Amino acid sequence: MQLHSDRPIAVDVRDAVKVYGDFTALKRVSLSIHDNEFFTLLGPSGCGKTTLLRMIAGFEDVTEGSIALFGEPIAALPPHKRPVNTVFQNYALFPHMTVLDNVGFGLEMLGRSKSEARKRAGEVLDMVQLSQFSSRKPSQLSGGQQQRVALARALAPQPKVLLLDEPLSALDLKLRKAMQLELKHLQRETGITFIFVTHDQEEALTMSDRIAVMSAGELQQLGDAREIYERPKNRFVADFIGDTNLIEVTVDAVAEGQAKCHLGGGHALICDAVEGVKAGDKVHMSMRPERLFLSEEPIAAEGFRGTVRENIFIGTDITTIVALNEGPDFTIRASNSSRGNSRVFDIGAEVVVNMEQGAGRLLTD
Amino acid sequence: MAGGASTGGSSQSETFAPARYWLLLPSWVTLTILVLAPVSMMMGYSFLTKEFRGGVIWEFSLSAYDQFFFDRGLFGDDPPVLQWTYISIFWRSIWQAGVATLMSLVIGFPTAYFIATRPEKERAIWVFLVTIPYWVNLLIRTVSMKFLLRDQGPLNDLLVGSGLLSEPLTIVNTNFAVQLGLFYSYLPFMVLPIYAAAERYNFALSEAAADLYATRWTVLRRILLPSVKPGIVAGCILVFVPSLGSFLAPDLLGGAKNFMIGSLIEEQFKGNAGNWPFGAAASMILLTLVMVILLISARQQAKGGK
């Protein structure tokens, strides 16, 4: 993977605060988005991700802090003076204009002649494979097609940064998956910086170079997909991204980068230590279900004995819920394939829950 | 509407088909008694001969229309010359109603937009405030307006008293007074349809346009106005049409010089001096004019909606 940190900073948000009346939507958020990066703002609804996007677009003013675009402060500029374009959640296509005029609108506003705007609009429509619909009105298109028109309209003026506000949320699953890849390719081809807002963690993991996980108006963690998934900083991130077993553990000793812990019922385990954790602390540990596996007999010293409660077949995987003897429940996911060490046990079977190397991750809050 | 039901529905509309006519009966009866019958009577009367003390003689005659358009001299035996008196009254009426409509649009559009952009809970209150003056009878409102605008009225007292003007401004008995009166009478009919259209407007469209480098003025002209155009057209018709036939405002605020069609028609049916066939003919001409305006705007709407 290329290092984005070598590239110039496209959008620089410094200590951005947004207050509505007595509600603080954004609490001092700082982040830098690099040029040519596919950057995702991820979080549940109300976390402030859309507010931040709208502040970059210029639809919301900045209560405190600054926003710069390639080094130029833009917080005081009205939306029509910012060289960024937005793909809106419900597309916001102009209903009284044809598809071609919708796509050409931005160029026309930039002072290009109508014929030039139409020519360029035609090219962009070609790029999203919609040229045969150019003389239709938006209402005569399907949701997926409208989505592409919205994308073409925002790309046509060749913005420095493209903002996408949950653009795929209205599409059905199959179409959404196809569009995710298409967006990713489009970003690579055009070299435009994409800032993508979504609440769908899978979507974020699929497309992004880097992800900013947000919650309650604060930035929780910033990193690439693997980092966010495998090394979550806190309970919120571990829980929000993917499925996980969040287990309360007591730290018994910390030494040489390793932490010796035990969970309820006295089951002991050893994992990587993280900064700020010391002996005697009660903290949470995240264990991804696919990094746990079951066996009949203990394989290593730190297996947990328990009983199979339930098997859930979900196509690609089989999820098993195991109740430990004196201890919490665990969710274990095994791939539905004959390879590997996955093995499915009947309900009621006595089993041992095993952890892969490094599967347990201590969380400080 | 019936066409839409029969093409859209299948078995359901067939089940209701016989009942549909019965259920529509009250509407048909009401429309016949209140619209079809009076208009037919008016049309009939316009082709009758006038009786000198009001009323009609049941004899077919085109003299009412002839009197409207042509001048045949004092004794009616000169060659016909185009009669400008009534045509100019019509023209003035159209002009006055047009200016009143324009004033309503200029004030009504921002008002409607303002209401539509309030938080949802507040909107009902604003709409209510707009309609409050209309709980008072039109006659009383028009008389009050005359009182406010007259030379020694409160407005002029204020203007002269504050030193802005040295002499009172004559407003009553001018065209402007009539326009003002019509504007005030029918303003809500402009505000409400535009509000209804603006409330349905997707404000994300304005944002999208601004995002695509459109200035505020361009957003208004290219995006907002076309989107709320049906409301504007409806508002203009609802103000223009009653203004055209109005007689209270021109009578009370305009004086004898600023006569409008409504007053002309009213005169024909008042006391013994009237001329019923002539009044009916003038009404028919007014009705035709309004119908033509409505047809043109309906055609425009149909074209725009495609």
**CB pair distance less than 8 Å for B215 and A105:** no
| Residue A170 forms contact with B (CB below 8 Å) | no
At residue A300, what are phi and psi to the nearest 5 degrees? Answer: -120, -175
Angle at which helix B120-131 crosses helix B84-116, to 10 degrees, equals: 150
Output the CATH code of domain B86-268: 1.10.3720.10
Q: Which residues of chain A have pLDDT under 70?
A: 1-5, 339-342
Q: Which helix (H) or strand (E) holds B129?
A: helix B120-131
Closest CA to B242 of B301, B282, B191, B182: B182
Q: Which residues contact A58 (CB under 8 A, 6 or more apart)?
A: A74, A77, A78, A79, A80, A81, A82, A84, B210, B211
Q: Which residues contact A79 (CB under 8 A, 6 or more apart)?
A: A57, A58, A59, B207, B210, B211
Helix-strand-coil split of chain A, %, nearest 5: 25, 35, 35
Q: Which helix (H) or strand (E) holds A332?
A: strand A329-335
Residue B106 pLDDT: 96
Distance from CA of B251 to the nearest CA of A (A): 44
**Distances, alpha carbon B180 to alpha carbons A207, B89, B97, B191, B261, in Å:** 62, 18, 10, 16, 17
CATH 2.40.10.10 assigned to domain A243-363? The reply is no
Say how far apart CA B94 and CA B241 lie, in whole Å.
9
Residue A294 pLDDT: 87
Residue A123 pLDDT: 92
| Residue A96 forms contact with B (CB below 8 Å) | yes
Contact A257, A269 (CB under 8 A): no
ipTM exceeding the 0.85 mark: no
**CB pair distance less than 8 Å for A59 and B207:** yes
**CB pair distance less than 8 Å for A109 and B223:** no
Nearest to B202 among A92, A105, A157 (CB): A92
Hey, is A26 helix, strand or coil?
A: strand
Residue A240 pLDDT: 92
Contact A330, A275 (CB under 8 A): no
pLDDT (tens place) for every residue of chain B, 306 residues total: 333 344 444 445 556 677 778 888 999 999 999 999 999 999 999 999 888 777 788 888 888 898 888 888 777 777 888 888 888 888 989 999 999 999 999 999 999 999 999 999 999 999 999 988 888 888 999 999 889 888 888 888 888 888 888 888 888 888 899 999 999 999 999 999 999 999 999 999 999 999 999 999 999 999 999 999 999 999 999 999 999 988 888 888 887 777 788 888 888 888 777 888 999 999 999 999 889 988 988 887 777 654
Residue A108 pLDDT: 92
User: Domain spans of chain A?
Assistant: 4-237, 243-363
**CB pair distance less than 8 Å for A88 and B207:** yes
Q: Which residue of A has its CA nearest to B225?
A: A96
Residue A5 pLDDT: 65
Fold category of A4-237 in CATH:
Rossmann fold (3.40.50)
User: Domain spans of chain B?
Assistant: 86-268
